[in-house]
Amino acid sequence: MDPGVQEGKLRTIIETYEAAAIASGTIIEVGQYLPKGVRVVEVCLMADALGAGVTLIVGDYEDNNRYIEESGTRKVNNQVQRLNAIAGRQYKVDETTPGDTTTDRQVIITTGGGAATGTIKIEITYVQE
């Protein structure tokens, strides 16, 4: 087992975003980059009833649904969505270019299905050596 996972420190990023009629396909950047070398343990997404048919996915600029995949029957309205993409569980962040928003270090939420209005909250828990 990677020593950074076995004896690492657990850390959490907590963000809130207020959506005001944002269009389907809007990308919301989570304010803090994931540090290089961390392993993602959990991602939780919570939201108001954002609008009819509105969906959310969570990933990064390399894979926009790396952590939470959207499916037709799963809407985030007034419930918690947990990390549900197998590739995202224990994903090791490996990009080396700080400040580059095209990397796996920048977590993004992408809207779909219609215009979204309401509160979106995300918690990203990771292990750092």
pLDDT one-digit tens code per residue, 74-122:
566 667 888 888 888 889 988 755 556 557 789 999 999 899 999 999 9
Residue 73 has pLDDT above 50, yes or no: no
Which pLDDT does position 1 carry in this prediction? 53
C-beta of residue 60 within 8 angstroms of C-beta of residue 108 = yes
CB-based contacts of 103: which residues, under 8 Å, 6+ apart?
A: 60, 61, 62, 95, 97
C-alpha span between 85 and 62 (Å, rounded): 14
Answer yes or no: pTM beyond 0.75: yes
Q: What is the pLDDT of residues 20-44, one digit of tens each?
A: 999 999 999 998 888 888 999 999 9
pLDDT over 50 at 7, yes or no: yes
